[in-house]
A and B are shown apart, each in its own frame.
Chain A
Amino acid sequence: MAKAKPRVKLPKKAAKGEIIEIKTLISHKMESGFRKDSKTGELVPRKIINKFVCSFNGEQVFASDWHPAVSANPYMSFTFRAEESGTFVFQWTDDDGSVYSIEKKLTVS
């Protein structure tokens, strides 16, 4: 499981004005930088996802800055008020610069 795998759960459809719950999870060790390698005695370098951003139709809805105190396989849930149909983009940024991304569509009636 070396590559970070993100997953997102949200309803496909919503009524206008309805508040929906969005849940996200990504597989990641979130190496804190505070652990020592048991063999070498050296500090294992920090490597975490430090930023999570959710945008809808190009505008940022919710974002979070993460520090090493966020658990491994980070879970993040929040809400969204559905006003119009469109596309969500969810992005997770790793300390090493990698960006993991998922898109989801929402139909609002």
Chain B
Amino acid sequence: MARKFWIIAAVTGLSLATAGTALTSEADWGAFQAGEKRSGYTYAKAETRNIQDDDFDNPGFLWVDTGAELWETVEGTAGKSCSSCHDDAADSMAKVGVSYPVFAKELGKPINVEQRINQCRTERMGAEVWKWESGELLAMTVYVKNQSQGAPVSVAVTDELMPFYEAGEQFYNQRRGQLDMACSTCHVDNAGGQLRANVLSQGQANGFPTYRLKWQKVGSLHRRFRGCNKQVRAQPYSYGADEYVNLELYLTHRSNGLPVETPAVRN
């Protein structure tokens, strides 16, 4: 059934993407490619890339600004702000965006940036959890990851992380949902191809949380996972579910070499 879908899609696919605004040749990709890997940036139209190129024009930076404010805000019973312990985020957080998810010994499993933020808040600040997709959690995640802007993603899959990495890889290649499609169906087998009027990207993780034009706001990688799962008519997992953290680990490692673009601008 999935194959029939693709034949129909290919036949009715429009040639609009060749209207001259996509970066079609390798020479154009610059920092946004690493070997065979291409950032979602290289699949976007010129107008979209222009919005991302300027840190002022990029609406994602509204969330960076909010994150910067929250960084200095004292909250919780310990009477601390992020900066009380972590000082200048440009220094203390510089390696976070390129290396997370990492193994959390205390949890016995990988932890991503959103979860680490909430862990700090609840266990060290005595503050309340920030809900997934809340303005605060998105802003802080974007702010922290943005400190690595331009640096190449370099997730290390240590021995401890390996089983979770493999679970993520398996999830990625597993068909699911009524449409019986895996992540790889679109993002590996058909990357660069048309899905109606959209060009399929490789589905890299290096720009998340991302300002998606579709959402008209910044959203997390797990939000994207849930959307993708729903679109193949599969039951989505919860934000922060183990399945999604494992998938995030696999995907971020897959983006190794591409620059951190948080907050990227995508369709």
Contacts and interface: CB of A to CB of B under 8 A. Distances in A.
Asked if A and B form a direct contact in the complex, defined as CB atoms under 8 angstroms apart, the reply is: yes
Interface of A: 1-2, 5, 7, 9, 23, 25, 27, 29, 71-73, 75
Size category of the binding interface on chain B:
10 to 19
A26 to B, nearest CB: 8
B63 A1 contact: yes
B56 A7 contact: yes
B65 A7 contact: yes
Given A25-B56, A73-B62, 16 more contacts: A1-B63, A1-B66, A1-B139, A2-B135, A5-B65, A5-B66, A7-B61, A25-B57, A25-B62, A27-B59, A27-B62, A29-B216, A71-B216, A72-B216, A72-B217, A73-B217
Interface in B195-254: 216-217
B66 A25 contact: no
Contacts of A29: 216
A15 B240 CA distance: 53
Minimum-distance CB pairs A-B, first 9: A1-B135, A72-B216, A73-B59, A27-B62, A9-B56, A23-B56, A5-B62, A1-B66, A73-B62
Contacts of B217: 1, 72-73
The secondary-structure label for the interface of chain B is helix
Interface string B43-82: 0000000000000110101110110000000000000000
A2 B217 CA distance: 12
A75 B59 contact: yes
Contacts of A25: 56-57, 59, 62
Contacts of B216: 29, 71-73
Contacts of A7: 56, 61-62, 65
A56 to B, nearest CB: 20
A31 to B, nearest CB: 10
B13 to A, nearest CB: 27
A1 B56 CA distance: 18
B57 A23 contact: yes
A38 to B, nearest CB: 13
29 contacts: A1-B62, A1-B63, A1-B66, A1-B135, A1-B139, A1-B217, A5-B62, A5-B65, A7-B56, A7-B61, A7-B65, A9-B56, A23-B56, A23-B57, A25-B56, A25-B57, A25-B59, A25-B62, A27-B59, A27-B62, A29-B216, A71-B216, A72-B217, A73-B59, A73-B62, A73-B216, A73-B217, A75-B57, A75-B59
Nearest to A77: B57
A25 B55 CA distance: 11
Which of B56, B63, B216 has the most chain A CB atoms closer than 10 A to its own CB? B56
Interface in B160-185: none
Contacts of B65: 5, 7
Contacts of B66: 1, 5
Interface string B86-126: 00000000000000000000000000000000000000000
Contacts of A9: 56
Contacts of A23: 56-57
Nearest to B69: A5
Contacts of A5: 62, 65-66
Which of B62, B63, B139 has the most chain A CB atoms closer than 10 A to its own CB? B62
A27 B61 CA distance: 10
Nearest to A4: B62
Contacts of A1: 62-63, 66, 135, 139, 217
